[in-house]
């Protein structure tokens, strides 16, 4: 889930690259609040299907070259107990029970700080550090119960009217008792275009290396559209298709944002 938000938000932000009004507004400080709805379904290497609903709550504050963000989701998932977490943080739990059950509750809190190292009409380059605070209940397989940290670069540029964007990063997973998770690299690449003044559409491909010894990589294709509803509101929609055992077969969602 967070991977899809990352690709979509990077692309939409990059669409404003080179606009002096955007840079001036950001220097005064800008708060954006977002809420969404995400649904995905897949087997994730198990014999049984896992269906997951997620309602993310996201706050973003931009001032000058800095961007601070906090997100926390509410999760409801139905499936076997051998899948931990949601979105790009989903991990197959080797040796867990395979009985289908339904669990719900608050997910993990993710805090991030980003610095716009390059921001001009030709290139947008952000350096972003993230920390996952384990607020999700590990006994209900909503999270690992451990702190994770990651460091990534987001980049975007304009090429013949198209916004080309990408991400590359590395994540350090906290290891629950009895487990030794790998620290994977991850990345994404995408392209988008403003088709009318209020609507931006695009596609991205997300990848993450496997985290467990027997787990698979994450490979996902996302199609998205962002439509501005007046000066301060925006509605974003996306569809996802997974291409690995650790990705959903299909998913999608909506994000509504308001800028203060």
pLDDT in tens, 58-104: 999 999 999 999 999 999 999 876 667 777 677 766 555 567 889 99
What local confidence, expressed as pLDDT, does residue 113 receive? 97
Question: Structure pTM?
Answer: 0.87
* Helices marked H in the chain: 2-14, 20-27
Q: Which residues of 48-79 are buried (b: 16+ CB within 10 A; e: fewer)?
A: eebebbbebebebebeebebebebbbebebbb
pLDDT at 178: 79
Instruction: Give the model's pLDDT for residue 162.
Output: 93
The mean of the pLDDT values for the chain is 86
Summarize the chain as % helix, strand, coil (round to 5): 10, 60, 30
Classify domain 2-259 by CATH architecture: Beta Barrel (2.40)
Q: Give pLDDT, residue 14.
A: 57
More confident residue, 179 or 81: 179
Residues 206-216 pLDDT 10s? 999 988 877 78
Q: What is the pLDDT of residue 49?
A: 87
Chain-centroid distance, C-alpha 252: 13
Whether residue 20 is predicted with pLDDT greater than 60 in this model: the reply is: no
DSSP, res 176 = P
User: So what's the pLDDT on residue 97?
Assistant: 56
Give me the percent of the chain exceeding a pLDDT of 70: 85
What does the pLDDT read at residue 96? 54
**107-148 per-position pLDDT tens digit:** 999 999 999 999 888 899 999 999 999 999 988 888 888 999
pLDDT of amino acid 151: 98
Would you say residue 169 has pLDDT above 90?
yes
Work out the number of other CB atoms within 10 angstroms of the CB of residue 20: 8
Whether the per-residue pLDDT at 258 is higher than 70: the answer is: yes
């Amino acid at each position: 889930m967070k991977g899809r938000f990352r690709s979509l938000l990077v692309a939409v932000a990059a669409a404003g690259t080179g606009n002096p009004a955007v840079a001036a507004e950001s220097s005064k400080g800008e708060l954006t609040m977002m809420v969404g709805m995400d649904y995905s379904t897949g087997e994730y290497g198990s014999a049984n299907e896992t269906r997951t609903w997620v309602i993310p709550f996201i706050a973003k504050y931009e001032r000058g070259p800095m961007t601070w963000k906090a997100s926390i989701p509410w999760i409801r998932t139905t499936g076997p107990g051998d899948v931990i977490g949601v979105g790009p943080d989903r991990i197959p739990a080797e040796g867990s029970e395979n009985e289908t059950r339904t669990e719900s509750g608050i997910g993990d809190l993710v805090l991030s700080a980003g610095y716009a190292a390059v921001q001009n009409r030709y290139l947008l380059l952000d350096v972003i550090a993230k920390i996952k605070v384990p607020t999700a209940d590990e006994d209900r397989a909503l999270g690992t119960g451990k702190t994770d940290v990651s460091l990534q670069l987001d980049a975007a540029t304009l090429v013949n009217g198209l916004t080309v964007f990408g991400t590359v990063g590395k994540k350090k997973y906290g290891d629950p008792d009895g487990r030794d998770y790998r620290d994977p690299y991850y990345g994404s690449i995408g392209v988008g275009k403003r088709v009318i003044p209020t609507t931006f559409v695009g596609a991205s491909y997300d990848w993450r290396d496997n985290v467990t010894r027997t787990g698979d990589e994450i490979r996902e294709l996302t199609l998205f559209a962002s439509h501005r509803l007046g000066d301060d509101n925006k509605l974003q929609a996306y569809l996802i298709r997974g291409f690995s055992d650790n990705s959903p077969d299909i998913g999608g969602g909506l994000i509504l944002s308001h800028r203060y």
